Amino acid sequence: MKKKSFFVQYPVFTIFAVLALMIILAAVFAPVICGDRDPLKGSLADSIQPPSREHIFGTDKMGRDIFTRVMYGARISLSATFILVGIVFVTGTVIGIISGYFGGIVDAVMMRTADMMMSFPGLVLAIAVAGILGASIPNAIIAISVVTWPKYARLARSLVLKIRHADFVEAAIVTGSKTPYILLRYMLPNVVPTAAITAATDIGGMMMELAALSFLGFGAVPPAPEWGHMLNEGRNFMQSAPWLMIFPGLAIFVTVVVFNMLGDSLRDILDPKEKAR
Amino acid sequence: MKNIMKKTSALILGAVMPAAILSGCGSGSGAQTAQTQAENAEMAAPAAQTESAAEKTLTFGCQMYSDGLINPASQTNCAWNCMRFGVSEALFKFNDNMEIEPWLAESYEVSADRLTWTIKLRDGITFSNGTPLTATKVKESLDWVREKGPDGSSNPQKYLEFDAEVTADDAANTITIKTVTPYVNLTGNLAYPVMAIIDVAETSDFDSGVIGTGPYKVKEFHDQVGFDMIRNDNYWNGDVPYDNVKILFMGDASAKANALRAGQVDLVENITNVADIKSLQEDSSYTVDIASGVRCGFTWMNQSGVLANDTLRQAILMAIDYDTICSSNTIGGLYTAGFSVLPSTLAYGYDKLTNPYAYDPDGAKKLLDDAGIVDTDGNGIRELDGKDIDLTYVSYENRMLNDFSDAHTMYLADLGIGVTARYGSSDDQWNALVAGDYDLNNNNWTTVGTGDPTEYMANWYSKSGADYCAYQNDEYDKLYEQLLNEADTAKRADIIRQLQQILVNDAVAIVDGYYNSSMAYSKNVGYAHIHTADYYWITTEIRPAD
């Protein structure tokens, strides 16, 4: 029997992968799509114009083209989100593996720290951290990383504990394998798939948290075209000029949904439990 | 099936979350604002209930300055709060033409050398605790504020010098103030909220329980939320229309407008965004009262940093299109454009001033090019002394200041000058200003606080201690000292005109424009009025609808 193509076999994944790719491409090629429009330049004389042929999403308070700002905003939101997810994935996994493998005092210190971080409501702690560091995208990434890494660390630790005393690990130790080798060769491969799925499903959520921080004034600073920040800028005009909020809001919504569904379908493919059913 | 359910719920979640984020949030100080609003909602509920009873209650939404505290000696904002909330009154007050009228005082006399001021007090005035207002009480108050002043930032010595001696004559009901330096306008100074007369002997909680002579007194203070005020039964000056006044602090203009529309408050001050004020004006359920502006929005340019460069400052002024900003849909006429730090409506010769740095973007670029301030590394930012020009812009979300700052940033980017925004609360802005930790600092000031702009113009007098932008011009200083000693009104006006021209010529500040204050109220209120002088919000003029 001829084996079905991967993409045909998983149509949901395929659809959302294509959509996600389109969003990424839109971000990468924003200058091409928007022509010579500058997301930071406008004219106060054209401020708060409703959508028209010239400005299909209308203009904002500074007379800037909202379509251009939404497109360029994808660059900020996507890159910041990927960096954020990358950071928490790497740090969380590494800490979790070390903690699970060595146990004892190392484990106790790391996990109690993680517990401490997790005992606060995430966004509130992130606001506190971002507030202390000052408003900027890198600081927002740091703030959310600080509150998110324990999730990955606990996950990685539990996966490591499952195989810590398995025969093949004991055998490796007995035959004189070096610790770094064991960590890399046996522990890491056991952790990465599950952590990666978690990371994929987290992209949407992380994007929302970054947008939330920017909305609250703890992330992007003006005049950056960041979606959460654009929502905040348009807030006062919610009733009289709703396009100021609708389009950046829609951009957040679409992107978050696409990445959430992509992560979901990826889990459906990779998660052994789902497969077994 | 399970999968479809899961995906549907994910979709719904995706749609709901942005809405949840939106609804929970206010301005820059997000968490706090959200909490405050939640508490406000709790407070408003009983307010609505009492309205149906015989008691008359006014709910008033206003900006929170300096945590809403009301100690006149601690901070200028606190002194303003105290008077604005209807707690304190002063010996004199300003009418809407900014003329000085007696208030707690009845009349005054001044000696020819302007060193001895004898002020006759009105008879029959009592504090809200029933203690009569005597000359001794007034002396105690004026002495107290100057004694406590150095611990805070109210600077009472700006209105009455430390060396001035106040003597009380209870029998004649007069106080006599003997000053060392002659005062031109002491009555105006005594009208300033910092110099309000309070019962210092019996006030125990100065932060939130000051005892004054005003129509309302504090019943309870809710930190970060507001005040519960009740009628001062001992009020001396006519009927007090309300039994209770609930003051609720609101984070931003939209919050105030929405609270008004939702019936959570009856009256709000200064809705500062065009969209809301226009929609309220068009809605017959609300009345909007606007006072012509004596406030000036302006951006300090810190001359202790890169902006010490005269050419750079001049080019910045020429790069900004002030008229277009003020007439745009964003600002929408809530500001009137102008180039002097004193409003064009005041009688200080605005018409005779000349502006060498009117909007001229090409001229601005040429000015910098000619001065060798050019972009050599092709990154779009000009360099000065080998470094990219990157100005730190401090601003806060009040009276559209952030919009002005954004607009300025855009025009400066066009000129090839980088700007990094550092927007925060009004306290952040003030602290940065006093510490000199900024390049550009946007704020909005009352220009004729004591009836004329002497105090305000001290912002550029290098010996005033209020010269927060490190500006120094001997000619200005000399002229300003002349102003301090000039009593003739016409001559003073001319000196003030000359001072303005020097500031314009020296390119000291980016003038946003002249701000128009406003109050908006619902049908629950019969009449309310925003005064030209910004010190009087809760007054006995505000009365319930019949």
- A120 touches B: beta carbon within 8 Å: no
The secondary structure of A72-139 as a DSSP string is HHHHHHHHHHHHHHHHHHHHHHHHHHHHHHH-HHHHHHHHHHHHHHHTS-HHHHHHHHHHHH-S-HHH
Q: For residues B139 and B246, state if they share a domain.
A: no
> Structural domain tally of chain A?
1
- Nearest-angstrom CA–CA distance, B194 and B197: 9
Please choose, from the candidates B517, B502, B165, B93, the residue with its C-alpha nearest in 3D space to the C-alpha of residue B335: B517
Supply the angle between the helices B361-370 and B401-415 in degrees, to the nearest 10. Answer: 60
Question: Is B172 an interface residue toward A (CB < 8 Å)?
Answer: no
Confirm whether A35 is domain-assigned: no
Name which residue leads in pLDDT, B315 or B182. B315
Where residue B22 falls among pLDDT bands split at 50, 70, 90? Answer: very low
Nearest to B406 among A223, A235, A268 (CB): A223
> Tokens 């360029």 label which residue?
A72
A5 is a domain residue: no
Is A14 a domain residue?
Answer: no
**Looking up tokens 């990445």, which residue turns up?**
A259
Q: How far is CA B497 from CA A7, A268, B29, B257, B339, in A?
A: 78, 76, 40, 38, 13
The residue type at A55? H
Residue A16 has pLDDT above 90, yes or no: yes
pLDDT at B53: 53
pLDDT in tens, B83-96: 999 999 999 999 88
Q: Is residue A99 part of a domain?
A: yes
pLDDT of B34 strictly over 50: no
Q: Which of B424, B451, B278 is nearest to B348 (CA)?
A: B451
**Does residue B320 sit within a domain?**
yes
User: Rounded distance, CA B241 to CA B243, Å?
Assistant: 7
Q: B163, B185, B202: which is the final residue of a domain?
A: B202
Task: Give the pLDDT confidence score for residue A120 in this predicted structure.
Answer: 82
Are B142 and B72 in contact, with CB atoms under 8 Å apart?
no
Selected for mutation to probe chain B from A216, A238, A254, A273 (highest B CB count within 10 Å) is: A216
- The answer to whether residues B412 and B316 belong to one domain is yes
- Chain A interface, best mutation among B4, B12, B22, B272, by max A CB count within 10 A: B22
With beta carbons under 8 A apart, name residues in chain B contacting A235.
Answer: 22, 254
**Shared-domain flag, residues B495 and B526:** no
Per the CB < 8 Å rule, is A61 touching B330? yes
**CB-based contact B31 A236, cutoff 8 Å:** no
The reply to whether A212 touches chain B by the CB within 8 Å rule is yes
Nearest CA in chain B to A239: B275
- Which residue segment(s) compose the domain that A175 sits in? 19-29+56-272
Question: Taking residues A129-138, what's their average pLDDT?
Answer: 87
The pLDDT assigned to A2 comes to 62
Q: Is B381 on the interface with A (CB under 8 A)?
A: no
pLDDT at residue B358, rounded to an integer: 96
pLDDT in tens, B435-491: 999 999 999 998 988 888 988 999 999 988 888 999 999 999 999 999 988 888 899
Is pLDDT of A272 > 60?
Answer: no
Same domain, residue pair B275 and B305 = no
Give contacts of A240 with chain B, Cβ < 8 Å. Answer: 275-276, 278-279
Answer whether B7 sits within 8 Å of A264, measured CB to CB.
yes
Inform me whether the pLDDT recorded for B6 exceeds 90: no
The alpha carbon of residue A48 is apart from the nearest alpha carbon of chain B, in Å, by 6
Q: In chain B, which residue's Cα lies nearest the Cα of A212?
A: B21
Q: Do A256 and B14 touch (CB under 8 A)?
A: yes
Spatial distance between the Cα atoms of A124 and A142, rounded to a whole number of angstroms: 14
Tokens of B531: 């005064």
Of the pLDDT bands very low, low, confident and very high (cuts 50, 70, 90), residue A126 is confident
The predicted structure's pLDDT at residue B202: 95
Residues B45 and B12 in one domain: no
Q: Does A221 touch chain B (CB under 8 A)?
A: yes
CATH of the domain at B216: 3.40.190.10
How far is C-alpha B15 from the geometric centre of its chain's CA atoms?
Answer: 40
B30 assigned to some structural domain: no
Q: Domain check: are B482 and B537 in the same one?
A: no
Supply φ then ψ for residue A48, to 5 degrees.
Answer: 50, 55
B253 to A47: CB separation less than 8 angstroms, yes or no? no
* Cα dist from A82 to A86, A89, A129, B14, B119, whole Å: 6, 10, 20, 19, 71
Interface membership of A238 toward B (CB under 8 Å) = yes
Kindly state whether residue B24 falls inside one of the protein's structural domains: no
Q: Is residue B409 one of the residues assigned to a domain?
A: yes
Interatomic CA distance for residues B226 and B63, integer angstroms: 10
Are A240 and B275 in contact (CB < 8 Å)?
yes
Residue A44 to residue A63: CA distance in whole angstroms: 5
Cα distance between residue B163 and residue B169, in whole Å: 19
Decide if B467 is inside a domain: yes
CA-nearest of B24, B64, B89, B417 to B252 is B64
Cα separation of B193 and B487, whole Å? 23
CB of B242 closer than 8 Å to CB of B231: yes
Residue where a domain terminates, one of B202, B237, B265: B202
**Mean model confidence pLDDT for chain B:** 88
Q: Which long-range contacts (CB under 8 A, 24 or more apart) does B114-117 make?
A: B114/B182, B114/B183, B114/B184, B114/B186, B114/B487, B115/B178, B115/B179, B115/B180, B115/B182, B115/B183, B116/B176, B116/B177, B116/B178, B116/B179, B117/B176, B117/B177, B117/B179, B117/B183, B117/B186, B117/B187
The reply to whether residue A240 touches residue B330, judged by beta carbons under 8 angstroms, is no
pLDDT band per the 50, 70, 90 thresholds, residue A134:
confident
Choose among B14, B31, B252: nearest Cβ to A260.
Answer: B14
pLDDT of B429: 93
Cα separation of A188 and A205, whole Å?
25
Quick check: B18 and A249 CB within 8 A?
yes
Among A217, A231, A257, beta carbon nearest to B423: A217
pLDDT of residue B48: 46
Pull the structure tokens for residue A136: 């900027």
Average pLDDT over chain A reads: 90
| pLDDT value, residue A222 | 87
Beta strands in B242-352 (DSSP E): 244-249, 267-269, 287-301, 335-336
Determine which of B7, B21, B442 to mutate to test the interface with A (most A C-beta atoms within 10 Å).
Answer: B21
The pLDDT value recorded for residue B23 is 40
pLDDT tier at B46, thresholds 50, 70, 90: very low
DSSP type of residue A277? -
Give me the pLDDT at residue B367, please: 96
How many whole angstroms separate alpha carbon B39 and alpha carbon A122? 22
> How wide is the angle at C-alpha B514 spanned by C-alphas B509 and B520, nearest 5°?
140
A41 lies in some domain: no
Model confidence over B413-441: pLDDT tens digits?
Answer: 999 999 999 998 888 899 999 999 999 99
pLDDT tens digits, residue range B203-253? 999 999 999 999 999 999 999 999 999 999 999 999 999 999 999 999 777
Q: Domain of A181: which CATH number?
A: 1.10.3720.10
Contact list, A231 vs chain B (CB under 8 Å):
18, 22
The model's confidence at residue A1, banded by pLDDT at 50, 70 and 90, is: low
Residues B85 and B118 in one domain: yes
Q: And the tokens for B114?
A: 């302007």
Residues B322 and B181 in one domain: no
Share of chain B above pLDDT 90, in %: 71
pLDDT at B506 over 80: yes
Q: How far apart are CA B226 and CA B209, in angstroms?
A: 13
Instruction: Give residue for tokens 């002020």.
Output: B119
Q: Please tell me the distance from the alpha carbon of residue A266 to that of residue A200, in angstroms, as a whole number.
A: 8
Residues B186, B247 within the same domain: no
* Higher pLDDT among residues A185 and B441, named by residue: B441
- Residue B213 phi/psi, 5-degree rounding, is -105, 5
Q: Is B23 in CB contact (< 8 Å) with chain A?
A: no
Q: How many CB atoms lie within 10 A of CB B134?
A: 18
CATH number of the domain that residue B301 is part of: 3.10.105.10
Interchain contact B262–A (C-beta under 8 A): no
Residue in the block written with tokens 């102008």: B338
Q: How many domains does chain B have?
A: 3
Question: Does the residue A47 lie in any domain?
Answer: no
* Contact criterion met (CB < 8 Å) for A41 and B329: no
Asked if the model's pLDDT at residue B50 lies above 50, the reply is no
Write down the pLDDT at residue A95.
Answer: 95
Residue numbers in A near B256 (CB within 8 A): none
Q: Are residues B278 and B338 in the same domain?
A: no
> Which residue(s) pair with B166 in the sheet?
B177
A:54-113 residues touching chain B, CB 8 A cutoff? 61-63
| Within-domain flag for B450 | yes
Give chain B positions within 8 Å (CB) of A253. Answer: 14-15, 18
Tell me if A253 and B406 make a contact (CB, 8 A cut-off): no
Same domain, B522 and B509: no
Find chain B residues with C-beta within 8 A of A257's C-beta: 10-11, 14
In this structure, are B276 and B319 located in the same domain?
no
- For residue B384, the enclosing domain spans 3-19+293-515
Q: What is the dihedral of CA B316, B317, B319, B320, to 10 degrees?
A: 120
Query: Which of A114-118, A132-136, B80-84 is modeled with the greatest confidence?
Result: B80-84
Which of B172, B202, B232 is the endpoint of a domain? B202
pLDDT value at residue B17: 41
**Which tens digits make up the pLDDT trace of A188-232?**
999 998 999 899 989 999 999 999 999 988 899 889 999 999 999
* Angstrom distance (rounded) from CA A116 to CA A136: 25
Segment B282-303, tens digit of pLDDT: 899 999 998 877 899 999 999 9
State the residue for tokens 């004596």. Answer: B294
How far is residue B126's CA from residue B134's CA, in Å, rounded to a whole number? Answer: 8
Q: What ipTM was assigned to the predicted interfaces of this complex?
A: 0.84
Binary contact (B328, A231; C-beta < 8 A): no
The verdict on B371 touching A (C-beta cutoff 8 Å) is no
pLDDT-derived band at B276 (thresholds 50, 70, 90) equals: confident
**Given an 8 Å threshold on Cβ–Cβ distance, is A216 in contact with B325?**
no
Q: Does A207 touch chain B (CB under 8 A)?
A: no
Is the pLDDT assigned to residue B1 strictly greater than 60?
Answer: no
Q: Give the pair of three-digit tokens for residue B142.
A: 């004026």
Tell me which of A85-89, A258-262, B465-469 is least confident: B465-469
Q: Give the global pTM.
A: 0.76
